[in-house]
Amino acid sequence: MVYFCLIFVCIISSFLKKNQVDNIAYRYILLGVIIFVISSGYMCGTDWRNYELMYEEFGKEASFEVTDWTLEPFYVLLNKIFNRLNVDFWMFFIFIKLCVSIILFKSLRQICPTDKFYLSLLSFLSFFGFFMLIDNPMRNVIAVAITLTAMPYLYKGKIINYLFIVFIAFLFHYSAIFMLLIYPIVRSSISNKKWFFVYIFVNVIFVKPDILFQIADFVLVPFPFLSWKVDSYMDQLDTVAKGKLFSLGLLVHLVFFILILNSRKVIEMIPNGKYIFNLAVLFPIVFRMGLTSLVFSRFQLYLSLFYVVAISCTVSLFDIKSRIFYKIYVITISVCSCYQIVTSDYRYIPYTNYFVEKMFGKEYLYDERSNYNKIYSPYKDKIVFEK
């Protein structure tokens, strides 16, 4: 399977010697292959179905006017611009994923110590990358990529530049408001004890989150489109996720949370380490929120790169002999996470590639593409097929 081949190469690369890690040609070739695979996925994933239908609908509209603010206006405009240029949906879709992939991996390289890069890349692909770029919640991922371009301004304390770019991201996906709200937190110096208290507090209060949603709904009354989003996510609180006290993922991220707190000095020694630490330590807290409601799981993606870099830095906590065992632990967790994601249902396997299918002259109708993985995946669930 292509996903595990990429993961295997990342594992091997994480054990390269320092002079080999610095090999720029090798890094670019590997990243090029990864970007090609995840950017040009075809019938795998889920969200492309709705995005293709939306793209076709926007193509029928003559004006650039945005009338429905429940869908982010800049994403609507982006669709209309590409439609006006007569760009096929799949060329549009792949181009956007290509741009996002480049920003993600460039940002990872910029914030990650060279000797930790491949371990961070492994963790990112396993925990987040395949979901973000194969399943591809596109509006959310575009917003994540845009906020990453704002981070240098956050590091330099240029608040106006930072807020402006994040506001642009907000107009692609409303979840980007998260990066506006946490600005003062990321710029502050909060003690480890306070961070741990916040983690405990969130775990307790999110057992019964209903009142928080009611408060949020009240506060957002002046912004009806945001209030509508909160209401829709509130409706999605199911009996399984609501008030969930424990999951294996929660335990894994609790361990990483504690290790990151203990690695604070190591992390803060790298360039912009203070901000990387603050963003990373927020992730396990937001992850706990995400167990309760999907709305909070959207925020996790904004923290993903910083989290995996911090995880790779925790290796330095251990002595030389112990590091290999801890590294194997991180690799094992990453592989298990990857396996859980790609085998959870039909969306990832079989993997199909747009350019490969076109090269062999294969053409599929929308319904054929939509149902392809649902028919041929060994991990398909009970599915109602589109007609």
Kindly report the number of other CB atoms within 10 A of residue 110's CB atom: 13
Question: Residue 268's pLDDT is what?
Answer: 93
- Alpha carbon 313 to its chain centroid, in Å, reads 20
- Record the tokens describing residue 100, joined without a space: 């996002």
pLDDT of residue 63: 62
Both structure tokens of 272: 């912009």
Q: Residue 385's pLDDT is what?
A: 40
For 306, other C-beta atoms within 10 Å of its C-beta total 27
**Counting Cβ atoms within 10 Å, is residue 69 exposed (0-12), middle (13-18) or buried (19+)?**
middle
Output the 3-class SS for the chain.
CHHHHHHHHHHHHCCCCHHHHCCHHHHHHHHHHHHHHHHCECCCCCCHHHHHHHHHHHHCCCCCCCCCCCCCHHHHHHHHHHHHCCCCHHHHHHHHHHHHHHHHHHHHHHHCCHHHHHHHHHHHHHHHHHHHHHHCCHHHHHHHHHHHHHHHHHHHCCHHHHHHHHHHHHCCCHHHHHHHHCHHHHHCCCCHHHHHHHHHHHHHHCCCCHHHHHHHHHHCCCCHHHHHHHHHHHHCCCCCCCCCCCCHHHHHHHHHHHHHHHCHHHHHHCCCHHHHHHHHHHHHHHHHHHHHCHHHHHHHHHHHHHHHHHHHHHHHHCCHHHHHHHHHHHHHHHHHHHHHHHCCCCCCCCCCEHHHHHHCCCCCCHHHHHHHHHHHCCCCCCCCCCC
Model pTM? 0.88
* HEC secondary structure over 51-106: HHHHHHHHHCCCCCCCCCCCCCHHHHHHHHHHHHCCCCHHHHHHHHHHHHHHHHHH
Local confidence pLDDT in tens for the 387 residues of the chain: 799 999 999 999 999 877 777 788 999 999 999 999 999 999 999 999 999 999 988 877 656 666 655 678 899 999 999 998 999 999 999 999 999 999 999 999 999 998 899 999 999 999 999 999 999 899 999 999 999 999 999 999 899 999 999 999 999 999 999 999 999 999 989 999 999 999 998 888 776 666 566 655 656 555 565 555 555 555 555 444 444 556 788 889 999 999 999 999 999 999 999 999 999 999 999 998 888 777 788 899 999 999 999 999 999 888 888 889 999 999 999 999 999 999 988 999 999 999 999 888 888 899 999 999 999 989 866 444 443
